[in-house]
Amino acid sequence: MQVWYALSAQAKGKVERTYRWLQDRIIRRCAREHITEIEKAKFVLQQELHRYNEKQVHSTTGEIPGIRLQKAIKEGKTCFKPFKLPPGYKSVKDILC
């Protein structure tokens, strides 16, 4: 694996596009549904994340992100590694704070 840095504004923008799209969608939906409380907005966020990851076909890949990730994991084509506590640690709280 090799790290590639985004050297142009367009490349950096590609990373941020999903977050901007999601934020715009949540704001519009909350306005349309007259949601003004943070707890209800959090619920909308969870619904939109689920829809984006599990139901919506991505415009660039032509695949649903959640299915694409599961396929990559099954085929061993992912850089994700299982998390294991290093020796001497008893809890995740010993590492993450």
Q: What is the pLDDT of residues 33-70, one digit of tens each?
A: 999 999 999 999 999 999 999 999 988 889 999 999 99
Does residue 4 lie in a domain region?
no
Say what the alpha-carbon torsion angle 34, 64, 59, 53 is, to the nearest 10 degrees.
30
Q: Is residue 2 part of a domain?
A: no
Query: What is the model's pTM?
Result: 0.66
The answer to the question of residue 31 being in a domain is yes
CB count, 10 Å around CB of 66? Answer: 14
Structural domain boundaries, residue 76: 9-94
| Residue 93, pLDDT above cutoff 70 | yes
| Amino acid type, 15 | V
Classify residue 3: in a domain, yes or no: no
Q: How many domains does the chain have?
A: 1
Q: For residue 61, what are its two tokens? A: 């890949």
* pLDDT above 80: residue 5: no
Residue 73 within a domain: yes
Q: Copy the structure tokens of residue 60.
A: 């660039």
Query: Is 18 inside any structural domain?
Result: yes
Q: 1: which residues sit within 8 A by CB, 6+ positions away?
A: 79
How far, in Å, CA of 56 to CA of 60, rounded?
Answer: 12
Handedness of CA 58, 47, 33, 25 (dihedral sign): negative
Identify which has the larger pLDDT, 73 or 60.
73
- Residue 87 lies inside a defined structural domain of this protein: yes
What is the per-residue pLDDT across 14-40, written as a single tens digit (0 to 9) for each? 667 778 888 999 999 999 999 999 999
Q: Which residue has the higher pLDDT, 89 or 18?
A: 89
